[in-house]
Amino acid sequence: MKKTVIITGGNKGIGLDITRVFSESNYQVFVGARENTSELEGLGENVYFVKTDVREESDHQNIVKVAIEKTGRLDTYINNAGFSAWRSIENIDNDFLNNIIDTNLKGVFWGCKSALAVMNSGASIVNISSIAGKRGSSNNSAYCASKFGVNAITQSLSKEVGKKNIRVNAVCPVIVPTSGLKKALELPESPAVGNVNEFIDNFRKTQAALPNLPKGEEIGKSCLFLASDDASAITGQCINVDCGVFPQ
């Protein structure tokens, strides 16, 4: 029997790579995002697009309903949708903060709630967090707050639903140079302003233990492992997938 996974934001960036990895591993993949993409459409008939705004609880409920109707099961829910943006504290206004919290933090709450309403023993949730969920950095307080929150949801829900044999984990990548991240790095208060490629290269050389920074595919494979029965004893963990930037 093919397993079913829902991936929010699985239409681009790291999410698209996660979608690819699960699709190649014989999963039926439901991608919840605001827009379909040609890359997604090229992935074949086991990948379904369901228009979803992660800020809306009812959109999470909707994609769960569609997945259950089409495949009769939900094995894994991956809360991947999110975005990064740097701003100093004096420039953070209500709209900026609401947008980042509604998407990165509340989006994960609604995803977990909607998935857990139907999940059975053996199912799992994987949240895409960040090492920004474990350590703060300059001009990044809003994003870090949202990702610390994601790790808190992960730990709390693992305790809350563990007795049903449902696992909840997170992966914490560091800089994966997607087009979305590069755009964020061009913001005036980002640490890379004006010099994105040089910043990334420098970060790789000075921060990572390994020679490289993680690729989207490697994030996808970490998720695939956490979703699999091979990870049956792992829950409540927020695992750094960061090429050794932040050993713990």
Partner 1 sequence: MSYIDKLFDIKNQVVVVTGAGGYLCSEIAIGFAKAGAKVAVLDLRLEKAQAVASQIIDLGGEAIALEIDVADKEQHVRSLEEVLDKFGVVDILINGAGTNCATPFFELTLEEWQGVMNSQITGTFLGCQIFGKYMVERQSGSIINISSASSGPPLSKAFTYSVAKAGIKNLTQNLAREWAENGVRVNAIRPGFLPTEWNQKNFITEEREKAILGHTPMNRYGSPGELIGALIWLASDAASFVTGAEIAVDGGFSCMTI
- What residues make contact with partner 1 under the rule CB under 8 A? 36, 48-53, 55-56, 58-59, 62-63, 65-66, 69
How many Å separate Cα 109 from the centre of its chain?
A: 13
Among the listed residues 42, 45, 40, 56, the one whose alpha carbon sits nearest the alpha carbon of residue 7: 40
Least distance between partner 1 and beta carbon 179 (Å): 22
Least distance between partner 1 and beta carbon 62 (Å): 5
By beta-carbon proximity to partner 1, the closer residue of 105 and 239 is 105
27 is catalytic: no
CA distances in angstroms from 208 to 61, 105, 172, listed in the order given: 39, 27, 14
CA distance 184 to 61: 30
Least distance between partner 1 and beta carbon 194 (Å): 34
Q: Are 27 and 3 in contact (CB under 8 A)?
A: yes
By beta-carbon proximity to partner 1, the closer residue of 8 and 151 is 8
- Which residue of the set 27, 48, 77, 143 is catalytic? 143
By beta-carbon proximity to partner 1, the closer residue of 58 and 195 is 58
Least distance between partner 1 and beta carbon 52 (Å): 7
Two tokens, residue 62: 């909707």
By beta-carbon proximity to partner 1, the closer residue of 57 and 217 is 57
Residues 6+ apart with CB under 8 A from 47: 19, 23, 29, 31, 40
Two tokens, residue 32: 């919840």
Residues with active-site annotation: 143
